[in-house]
Amino acid sequence: MRKTGIVILSLMLVLSFAVLSGSPAAADNPAIASISTEQIFQAHPAIQRVQAELQQRQSEMMQELEDADEEEAMMLQQQMQQELQMLQQELLDEAFLEIEEDVGRVAAELGYDVVIDPQGIVYGADVLDLEDITEEVLAALEEE
Protein backbone atom coordinates (compact mmCIF):
# COMPACT_ATOMS: atom_id res chain seq x y z
CA MET A 1 0.00 0.00 0.00
CA ARG A 2 2.73 2.48 0.98
CA LYS A 3 4.71 2.20 -2.29
CA THR A 4 1.54 2.35 -4.38
CA GLY A 5 0.46 5.46 -2.52
CA ILE A 6 3.84 7.08 -3.02
CA VAL A 7 3.84 6.33 -6.74
CA ILE A 8 0.29 7.65 -7.11
CA LEU A 9 1.13 10.79 -5.15
CA SER A 10 4.27 11.36 -7.23
CA LEU A 11 2.34 11.05 -10.45
CA MET A 12 -0.43 13.32 -9.17
CA LEU A 13 2.10 15.97 -8.16
CA VAL A 14 3.99 15.89 -11.44
CA LEU A 15 0.83 15.98 -13.55
CA SER A 16 -0.89 18.69 -11.55
CA PHE A 17 2.12 21.00 -11.61
CA ALA A 18 2.65 20.39 -15.31
CA VAL A 19 -0.95 21.42 -15.96
CA LEU A 20 -0.89 24.33 -13.53
CA SER A 21 2.25 25.85 -14.98
CA GLY A 22 0.53 26.94 -18.15
CA SER A 23 2.20 30.33 -18.55
CA PRO A 24 4.42 30.68 -21.64
CA ALA A 25 7.47 31.57 -19.54
CA ALA A 26 6.98 28.53 -17.34
CA ALA A 27 6.56 26.28 -20.37
CA ASP A 28 9.88 27.50 -21.84
CA ASN A 29 11.93 27.19 -18.70
CA PRO A 30 9.97 25.87 -15.72
CA ALA A 31 11.44 26.12 -12.25
CA ILE A 32 11.64 22.53 -11.04
CA ALA A 33 12.11 21.32 -7.48
CA SER A 34 12.10 17.91 -5.92
CA ILE A 35 10.69 16.36 -2.77
CA SER A 36 11.00 13.07 -1.01
CA THR A 37 7.43 11.90 -1.39
CA GLU A 38 8.05 9.16 1.15
CA GLN A 39 9.17 11.65 3.82
CA ILE A 40 6.20 13.92 3.15
CA PHE A 41 3.86 10.93 3.13
CA GLN A 42 5.15 9.67 6.48
CA ALA A 43 5.05 13.06 8.21
CA HIS A 44 1.85 14.54 6.81
CA PRO A 45 -0.96 14.93 9.35
CA ALA A 46 -3.52 13.73 6.79
CA ILE A 47 -1.81 10.33 6.59
CA GLN A 48 -1.59 10.15 10.36
CA ARG A 49 -5.33 10.86 10.55
CA VAL A 50 -5.99 8.10 8.00
CA GLN A 51 -3.99 5.61 10.07
CA ALA A 52 -5.72 6.62 13.30
CA GLU A 53 -9.19 6.45 11.77
CA LEU A 54 -8.53 3.06 10.20
CA GLN A 55 -7.19 1.69 13.48
CA GLN A 56 -10.22 3.04 15.34
CA ARG A 57 -12.63 1.49 12.85
CA GLN A 58 -10.74 -1.80 12.92
CA SER A 59 -10.96 -1.88 16.72
CA GLU A 60 -14.70 -1.25 16.54
CA MET A 61 -15.05 -4.06 14.02
CA MET A 62 -13.06 -6.47 16.17
CA GLN A 63 -15.42 -5.71 19.04
CA GLU A 64 -18.40 -6.45 16.79
CA LEU A 65 -16.81 -9.76 15.80
CA GLU A 66 -16.28 -10.75 19.42
CA ASP A 67 -19.95 -10.16 20.15
CA ALA A 68 -21.12 -12.25 17.17
CA ASP A 69 -21.62 -16.00 17.02
CA GLU A 70 -19.32 -18.10 14.81
CA GLU A 71 -21.47 -18.14 11.67
CA GLU A 72 -22.31 -14.46 11.89
CA ALA A 73 -18.64 -13.63 12.57
CA MET A 74 -17.51 -15.26 9.34
CA MET A 75 -20.01 -13.23 7.29
CA LEU A 76 -19.20 -10.04 9.17
CA GLN A 77 -15.48 -10.48 8.74
CA GLN A 78 -15.75 -10.52 4.96
CA GLN A 79 -18.03 -7.47 4.93
CA MET A 80 -15.74 -5.65 7.32
CA GLN A 81 -12.67 -6.30 5.17
CA GLN A 82 -14.43 -4.79 2.18
CA GLU A 83 -15.62 -1.85 4.25
CA LEU A 84 -12.10 -1.21 5.56
CA GLN A 85 -10.64 -1.32 2.06
CA MET A 86 -13.22 1.15 0.77
CA LEU A 87 -12.71 3.42 3.78
CA GLN A 88 -8.94 3.25 3.34
CA GLN A 89 -9.17 4.23 -0.33
CA GLU A 90 -11.57 7.09 0.40
CA LEU A 91 -9.40 8.44 3.21
CA LEU A 92 -6.19 8.11 1.19
CA ASP A 93 -7.76 9.94 -1.76
CA GLU A 94 -8.66 12.81 0.57
CA ALA A 95 -5.19 12.76 2.14
CA PHE A 96 -3.48 12.81 -1.27
CA LEU A 97 -5.45 15.89 -2.24
CA GLU A 98 -4.45 17.60 0.99
CA ILE A 99 -0.79 16.68 0.49
CA GLU A 100 -0.92 17.91 -3.10
CA GLU A 101 -2.36 21.24 -1.95
CA ASP A 102 0.30 21.65 0.74
CA VAL A 103 3.17 20.83 -1.60
CA GLY A 104 1.68 23.12 -4.24
CA ARG A 105 1.35 25.98 -1.75
CA VAL A 106 4.97 25.66 -0.59
CA ALA A 107 6.23 25.29 -4.17
CA ALA A 108 4.34 28.41 -5.25
CA GLU A 109 5.70 30.35 -2.26
CA LEU A 110 9.22 29.32 -3.26
CA GLY A 111 8.63 30.08 -6.95
CA TYR A 112 8.60 26.56 -8.41
CA ASP A 113 6.40 25.54 -11.32
CA VAL A 114 6.98 21.77 -11.13
CA VAL A 115 7.74 19.45 -8.21
CA ILE A 116 8.89 15.90 -8.80
CA ASP A 117 10.19 12.98 -6.81
CA PRO A 118 13.54 11.96 -8.32
CA GLN A 119 12.91 8.34 -7.29
CA GLY A 120 10.20 8.24 -9.97
CA ILE A 121 12.69 9.11 -12.70
CA VAL A 122 14.04 5.96 -14.31
CA TYR A 123 17.03 7.64 -15.92
CA GLY A 124 18.50 11.13 -16.02
CA ALA A 125 17.79 12.43 -12.52
CA ASP A 126 21.45 13.35 -12.16
CA VAL A 127 21.19 15.65 -15.21
CA LEU A 128 18.50 17.76 -13.55
CA ASP A 129 19.67 20.44 -11.16
CA LEU A 130 16.83 20.00 -8.68
CA GLU A 131 16.37 22.00 -5.53
CA ASP A 132 15.05 19.64 -2.82
CA ILE A 133 12.24 21.41 -0.94
CA THR A 134 11.27 18.47 1.28
CA GLU A 135 12.45 20.26 4.42
CA GLU A 136 10.47 23.39 3.54
CA VAL A 137 7.29 21.36 3.03
CA LEU A 138 7.85 19.50 6.32
CA ALA A 139 8.46 22.81 8.10
CA ALA A 140 5.23 24.21 6.67
CA LEU A 141 3.36 21.17 7.98
CA GLU A 142 4.73 21.78 11.46
CA GLU A 143 3.50 25.38 11.35
CA GLU A 144 -0.08 24.31 10.73
User: What's the confidence (pLDDT) of residue 29?
Assistant: 78
Bridge partners of 33, per DSSP, are 115, 131
Return d(Cα 35, Cα 14) in angstroms, integer: 11
**Number of Cβ atoms within 10 Å of the Cβ of 37:** 26
Tell me, yes or no, if the pTM score tops 0.95.
no
* Residue 99 pLDDT: 94
What is the model's pLDDT at position 86?
95
Distances in Å between the Cα of 24 and the Cα atoms of 17, 20, 56 are 14, 12, 48
Number of residues assigned to the chain: 144
Residue 64 is predicted with a pLDDT of 85
Q: Residues 69-84: pLDDT tens digits?
A: 888 888 888 899 999 9
Domains in the chain (CATH in brackets) are 2-143 (3.30.910.20)
Secondary structure letter of residue 119 according to DSSP: G
pLDDT in the model for residue 25: 45
pLDDT score at 4: 54
pLDDT confidence of residue 66: 85
pLDDT at 27: 53
Query: Distance between CA 78 and CA 31 in Å, rounded?
Result: 49
* pLDDT < 70 positions in the chain: 1-27
